[in-house]
Structure 1
Amino acid sequence: MRSISARTTTVLAASALLPLLVAGCGPEGGSSERDAASGALQVVTSTNVYGDIVEAVGGEHVEVTAIVDSLSQDPHSYEATVQDKLAVSKADLLVENGGGYDPFLHTLADSVEMDHEYVLSAVDIAGLDAGEEPHAEDTHAEEGPHAEDTHAEDTHAEEEPHAEDTHAEEEPHAEDEHAHGSFNEHVWYNLAAMAELAGAIGDKLGALDPDNADTYEANAAGFAEELAAIEERAAALAPEAAGKAVAATEPVPAYLLETVGLEDVTPADYTEAIEEDADVPVAALNEMQELVKNGSVAFLAYNEQTEGPQTQAVRSSAESASVPVVNFTETLPDGADYLSWMSTNVDNIAEALKS
């Protein structure tokens, strides 16, 4: 069970007392603040993962505020502050994970009446909310230089008319979707999806700041190229992973494990309980511990950011059986950027497969 409790995300009541300091958001409301201050586009992201991707694309032309930026915080249960709302009220662009993972950011956007055209969702952009794999020709290729138009029509068009309905439906059912195995919201471990997101960020920044549009496009392309190289390294592990299984204390790195070609054999009841922040049934916990004790898995994928007594017990069982434990987190480790982090994750998986 999570040591950081409660997946239910609420915005602190105090934030409701904050006056709306910027009447309009998006290019009109944000740009006046931007021009008068640093000259940089103001971007707010739900976590430092997305903040780093924005910085990789925007470079010196963006000023990023990442709301969840510490390994001690759990984005699922984060409660927004007055300072968060102030940052969002000044933002030109917001970037969220979506899929029910970080609804606090969308709630903040709604609270300051921000145009949803300037709220980018990684889940929406990659089409993963429908259980699809990201396809460049379907998602980003159609955006092209007119991302602000196609995105509004294709991706956010369905969201904008009923954004409050979309997220209202999404938030209470996020755990249900995950528990039933129909959708994994941890999409930043899907490298192709993050390449798609980088392209969309570049398009949107270019629309907000046409003078530097070529720079954003080039940076996004360079980021995607480096990401493709990491994904290629991950896929190259498939022969070593063939016929091997893995167990995970939480399905955070599932997309990356799938790229490697590993089968996740974690008991469904165990995963459901962990994701619901509930006690794992005794039978499921025993089954999970037996998996890591009897040599059924190549390694244990361990989310060290939201560990609890039951996940720690599973880790202890793995270590006692000399089963490798590969640590994963939900936000950037200290001193890492997104590309180096994912590269290290692939290296750690490769090392575990050799054991």
Structure 2
Amino acid sequence: MKKRSLPALLVLPATAALVLSGCSTGDAGASGGDADGGAIAVVASTNVYGDIATTVGGDLVDVTSIISDPSQDPHSYEADARTQLAVSKADVIVENGGGYDPFVDTMVDASGTDATVISAVDVSGLDPEAGHDDHDHADEASDAATTDDHDDHDHAAFNEHVFYSLPSMAALATAMADEFGRVDTANADTFTANAEAFGAKVADLEAQAASIEAAHDGESVAYTEPVPGYLFDAMGLVNVTPDAFSEAIEEGDDVSPAVLNETLKLFSDGRVDLLAYNEQTSSPETEQVEAAATDAGVAIVPVTELLPEGEDYVSWQQSNIDAISEALGK
């Protein structure tokens, strides 16, 4: 089973046990509000997108986040009947896209819903076919770090963790406001104003990232998985993790001894300033990398793919920026 692409959906019949794997800010079975004057029914693949939908829609939307438990691995999700029911009754569905949460499309197809599906990847304008460029300094960092053939950061696989792309999330909020306003025209101005307020907060986060770039542009970092890649890009930080390592971890494959040894040497040789460690997935190889960073005195910044309990999108990313800034000694 691949870890990066969430596994195929298990669609249960409507008579199956109704146990929701995620959590909802409203009733997962609530009907849409475009026709009867109730709240707009929104289904989001994760609580990251559910939170942004709630921020834009306020009490005018009823949001179901399919996956929202920070201890739950999004890459091993299996849907249930209640979630399928929520999808069938939704007015708007928000997914990450880019191969990250294909279970959403499976449920949409199975339900026959005519809800509008908003894809964060599509809204972002990023091109999944073009791969992900780990910053303009990738070539020089690669030359300085290693001469191994596999260390080709300019041709790394597309990084579908677009929720760490700040401008993409501001654009997503705007897209949500537009769609909510189409469903509920009487409150279109409210949705637009909420999206603009969210965008202003995200712009402040972008300014903080730019400030870190001014002080640390070109510094080398590593990660167990490319979860914070877009945020690192915004800060001018250069990922020097061997692609063969992070890709194997993403796919749930074994890491070759040679690649693991090269990754561990990043820390023993003092070539990186911090390690971003995905707290939601681990393996013997990532645990060895974490131990190597600890032994070398390299700062470790934990990252997640879901909102931690008690956080909203802005506070979550603020915490990430603060942790990275502290780790870099800004």
Interval of TM-score (by shorter of Structure 1 and Structure 2): 0.7 to 0.9
Tell me the SS of whatever aligns to 1:72.
coil
Q: After the TM superposition, which residues 110-259 of structure 1 pair with which residues of structure 2 at under 5 Å, given as runs?
A: 110-115=109-114, 118-130=116-128, 131=130, 181-259=156-234
CA separation of 1:38/1:13 partners in 2, compared to 1, >3 Å: closer, same or farther? same
Letter in 1 for 2:181: G
Instruction: Calculate the aligned-residue CA RMSD, in Å.
Output: 2.6
| Contact 1:179 1:272 survives alignment (8 Å) | no
2:64 maps to which residue? Answer: 65
What is the aligned partner in structure 2 of residue 85 from structure 1? Answer: 84
Structure (1/2) with the larger helix percentage? 1
Range with greater deviation from structure 2 (71-80 or 313-322): 71-80
8 Å Cα contact 2:43/2:94 also seen in 1: yes
C-alpha distance in 1, partners of 2:99/2:89?
24
Instruction: Supply the AA of the counterpart residue of 1:53.
Output: I
**Aligned partners of 1:230 and 1:343 also within 8 Å:** yes
Q: CA deviation at 1:310?
A: 1.2
Structure 2 residue aligned with 1:296: 271
| Contact 1:251 1:271 (8 Å CA) reproduced | yes
Structure 1 residues 255 and 125: alpha-carbon distance in aligned structure 2, compared to 1, 3 A threshold: same
Aligned AA (2:242) = P
1:46 and 2:7 are equivalent in the alignment: no
Q: Distance in 1 between matches of 2:13 and 2:283?
A: 30
- Three-state SS of the structure 2 residue aligned to 1:305 is coil
Q: 1:249 is aligned with what amino acid? A: T
1:276: how far off? 1.3
Q: 1:210 to 1:74 in 2, by over 3 A?
A: same
Within 2, Cα distance between the matches of 1:125 and 1:324? 34
Contact 1:57-1:201 within 8 A present in 2 as well: yes
Unaligned runs of 5+ in 1: 19-29, 134-177
Residue 33 of structure 2 is matched in structure 1 by 34
Change (3 A) 1:38 1:323: farther
Letter in 2 for 1:99: G
Contact 2:131-2:158 within 8 A present in 1 as well: no
Q: Whole-Å Cα distance in 1 between the matches of residues 227 and 71 of structure 2?
A: 16
1:55 has 2:54 as partner: yes
Note closer, same or farther for the CA distance 1:69–1:271 as it changes in structure 2 (3 Å cut): same
Which residue, 9, 12, 15 being the options, matches 1:11? Answer: 9
CA positional deviation for 1:242: 2.5
Partners in 2 of 1:119 and 1:71 — Cα distance?
24
Deviations, residues 118-141 of structure 1 (Å, cap 9, x unaligned):
0000001112135499xxxxxxxx
Q: Are 1:69 and 1:332, in contact at CA under 8 Å, matched by a contact in 2?
A: yes
- 1:87 partner letter: A
SS at match of 1:306: coil
* 8 A contact 1:44–1:88 mirrored in 2: yes
- Alpha-carbon contact 1:7-1:77 (below 8 Å) kept: no
Is the CA contact 1:234–1:346 (under 8 Å) kept in the aligned structure 2?
yes
Point out where structure 2 has 5 or more consecutive residues left out of the alignment: 17-28, 133-152
Q: Percent identity?
A: 50
* Alpha carbons 1:247, 1:264 under 8 Å: kept: yes
Confirm or deny: 8 A CA contact 1:179 1:275 kept in the other structure: no
Matched, 1:263 2:238: yes
- 1:101 matched to 2:100: yes
Tell me the amino acid that sits aligned with residue 122 of structure 1: A
Q: In the alignment, what sits opposite 2:329?
A: 354
- Aligned-partner Cα distance in 2 for 1:104–1:300: 30
Q: Could you tell me whether the CA contact under 8 Å between 1:99 and 1:129 is conserved in 2?
A: no
Offset from partner CA, 1:20-68 (integer Å, 9 cap, x none): xxxxxxxxxx996537989211100000000000000000101110001
Is the counterpart of residue 320 in structure 1 residue 295 in structure 2?
yes
Cα distance in 1 for residues equivalent to 2:58 and 2:227: 28
Are the structure 2 counterparts of residues 36 and 208 from structure 1 closer, same or farther at C-alpha, using a change threshold of 3 Å?
A: closer
Q: 1:284 to 1:201 in 2, by over 3 A?
A: same
Alignment check: 8 A CA contact 2:31 2:90 kept: no
The two structures have a TM-score, normalised by structure 2, of: 0.84
Deviates more, 1:238-247 or 1:296-305: 238-247
How far is the alpha carbon of 1:5 from its aligned partner?
6.0
Deviation of the 1:183 alpha carbon: 1.1
SS of equivalent residue, structure 1 residue 63: strand
Give the Cα–Cα distance (whole angstroms) in 2 for the partners of residues 17 and 7 of structure 1: 28
For residues 6 and 195 of structure 1, the distance between their equivalents in structure 2, rounded to whole angstroms, comes to: 24
Residues 6 and 77, structure 1, Cα contact 8 Å, conserved in 2? no
* Aligned match of 1:149: none
Residues 248 and 254 in structure 2, CA contact (< 8 A), matched pair in contact too: yes
Q: Are the counterparts in 1 of residues 47 and 307 from structure 2 also a CA contact under 8 Å?
A: yes
**Structure 2 vs 1, CA of residues 77 and 15 (structure 1 numbering), >3 Å: closer, same or farther?**
farther
